Amino acid sequence: MELGLVERWQHGQDVELFYNPSQRRLILKKFQYMYSKGVDDLVTYPYIDLQGYGLKLLSLCLSQDNKIVAFQRSNHELDVLNLETQDHTQIIGGKNRKILGYHWTGERSAFCDFVMVTNAGVEFYKLAEASLKFSNIRGYQINIGHYWFEPSDGVLVVAASPPKLGQIDTFFVYQDKGPKFFHGPRFFIDINPSVTDKWTSDQTNVKNIKDTENNTEQDPHHVELLKIYESVYLVHGNCVKGQLNLYKLTHEKVALDRETIKIKPGAYGICTIDNLLLIFNYTLQETYIFDIKSENYSAKPFCTLWNGMSLDPPTMTYKMKVIIEKPNIIVLPTLLFDGKQISTLQEFDNTSGKNGQVIDCPMPLDPSLIYVDHDACVDIKNGRCYKLQLFPDKLVKHHPDPIESILFLLRRIGCKKQAFELLKHYLRKKVDLKGVSYLFSTINRVYKIAALERKGSSQNDDLRRRASMSASLSKTNSPRKYSLFQNADGESEMRLETGMTVLFQSDLMSIVFHPLFLDGSISISYLSSVILEYHRTLVDQDLQVHLDLQILLAKVLVKGKNLNLLHQLVQYNVFNDTKEFASLLITLATPNNPNYYPPALQLAVDMLYRMRAFDVLTDAFIENQMIYEAMCMLARHPYPGFDVKKLLSRTEGLGDRRIKEVVEQFVNDANL
């Protein structure tokens, strides 16, 4: 984990800082001029002249198309300026109505263009851009103390002021049901022992960052609104009791996503990176990393970072003090840890146990950094904006759970290649087959969901083409459960909404199983067990096993001299009836084959007969000099293109004059 620099500026009293969460841009303003810097694309956007509005602002937010800017000069008034026409208007809050924040919704909301939060409620507006006129389409009266906004899904959460402390109201700005359906479910959280609005701090939202105070070390509770694995969660941390609760928010209901997570009491910060929940313990200088989709590590840290630790090992020295008191000599040893005197190691043992993995991290947790987004923070003192970066491959390097490490990488974007390499690494170490079975079951369950979803999407696309004039059809189709991403190598990855990367049979075949079979770095008996287990988990999910994988399994069994097992698998129809597989069985029945296995011929004959592949079956009889059987098959099922010379040549090789005469007579009678 480290901080990547997004922007730096010369520190000064005249520089004002704002953050636009919808566009993920940092806005820097000095006097009447301002410019913005993208947190993700690192693009510096052109300067904007605010004309006569160069005074210090309390908050500022640009519209999605950068044509209109809204800003505050006082707590009770909101100014809106059209940057192209210089038209100006105001939204007056009133003396008793304090504006807490506001956000542009852009084209993602069908029923509003602008939402404003005050201490008296939430208001939704439509904007006539030509005249710069706002129309209030819906308002909700609530005494609000704090609010949080998640811009990607348009979820707004407000916390009520006393006497209704603990009441949480949800609003879904991007909903498509109508202007009367912005308000979502209401629920309550336990914020004891707090009795005032100072139980937590607000998000920065669109406020002037330089006016924001970081009260992380004093807040008894910490709340964040985060999007994790395509779902929006209200994360509530009780810093006094050491408890963490995740509430999954939907327009229909609010559900406690899992049992309460136990953490150590202290001053906390919360953020998310790559669908991982990061809990910063500023008191102990520890970071707890949770993967909420992990079956084994959803309620305990997958990894713990000890922040502020040097990557170089500490030096431990002894300082000896010798006191001579005749006739005795007194020696007083002192232990020095990196030059610091300590009397006990207890104060340095700041973790009770290793849940998952513990890694030294040189980056210290600085409570003075103000987090303006789930992965972006600002250092006002030094004039820096940073983006928090995490490296998943380093988190799993020495993790004690190999299977969870692989699944962890598969839930990260762009880590499929690393997951394959880690899988091959652990297969070479002969990881327990029980864990391998669990891994394959999880992978193939995801594979089946994606296959069914793609099939359903294809059918829906056909219906759309056939009924393109029907307006109701698009509303009945549920959103896709998978999406496509492009990794750093330019390869496309399919991922479910649960975050798992979809692994196809061809991926495991070409990247894992076949290379291990060729390089001989793994025992052939163990490899056959692994491939057979993968085969079994595919069948358990009612998935068709690809032919290449079936043939590879057969080759592995043959190389391992496990022909009896191959025989049984064919008898129990584990392998599909195909000409390619029948040809493989026929080669095993060839006398000059080092793995000669005569019963394989009968297995091949039965398979070809079930397929009614009489041409291949006839050729197989001829190759094995079973002339009588070949003539019987030709008599019953003749086929065009039969090679008569091949039949005569094989008959000649038998050296039997009577059989040769019979064959020649058969050829003449059958007019072949």
Give the residue from 207, 223, 248 where a domain finishes. Answer: 207
The range of the structural domain enclosing residue 94 comes to 58-207
The dihedrals phi and psi of 97, each to the nearest 5 degrees, come to -120, 110
pLDDT at 632: 81
What is the C-alpha radius of gyration for the chain, rounded to an integer number of angstroms?
35
Q: Above 60 in pLDDT, residue 478?
A: no
Confidence tier at 348 by pLDDT (50, 70, 90): very low
Peptide linkage before 327 cis (omega within 30 of 0)? yes
What's the domain count of the chain?
2
**Residue 187: inside a domain, yes or no?**
yes
Amino acid identity, position 337: F
CB 552 within 8 A of CB 535: no
**Residue 156: inside a domain, yes or no?**
yes
The dihedrals phi and psi of 282, each to the nearest 5 degrees, come to -70, -25
Written as one string, the DSSP assignment of 10-32 is: ---TTEEEEEETTTTEEEEEETT
Work out the mean pLDDT of the chain and round it to a whole number.
85
Q: Above 50 in pLDDT, residue 474?
A: no
Task: Output the six-digit token pair for 516.
Answer: 């291990």
**Residue 171: inside a domain, yes or no?**
yes
**Residue 639: inside a domain, yes or no?**
yes
Q: Could you tell me how many residues make up the chain? A: 672
pLDDT at 260: 87
Instruction: List the one residue out of 116, 10, 13 whose CA is nearest residue 56.
Output: 13
Confidence tier at 470 by pLDDT (50, 70, 90): very low
The CATH number assigned to the domain holding 96 equals 2.130.10.10
pLDDT at 484: 66
**Residue 139: inside a domain, yes or no?**
yes
CB 651 within 8 A of CB 663: yes
Q: Which helix (H) or strand (E) holds 424?
A: helix 416-428
Mean pLDDT of all residues in 182-195 = 92
How large a percentage of the chain has pLDDT more than 90?
A: 43
pLDDT at 625: 74
pLDDT at 338: 64
Strand partners, 334: 319
Mean pLDDT of all residues in 631-646 = 77
**Residue 140: inside a domain, yes or no?**
yes
pLDDT at 404: 93
Give the residue from 156, 185, 207 where a domain finishes. Answer: 207
Give the residue from 183, 207, 231 where a domain finishes. Answer: 207
Q: Above 70 in pLDDT, residue 480?
A: no
**Residue 122: inside a domain, yes or no?**
yes
Q: Above 80 in pLDDT, residue 94?
A: no
pLDDT at 472: 36
Query: Which single residue is written with the structure tokens 């990894």?
Result: 303
CA–CA distance, 227 with 249 (Å, rounded to integer): 10
The dihedrals phi and psi of 273, each to the nearest 5 degrees, come to -135, 125
**Residue 409: inside a domain, yes or no?**
no
Mean pLDDT of all residues in 532-543 = 94
Q: Are strands 59-62 and 44-49 parallel, antiparallel or unpaired?
A: unpaired
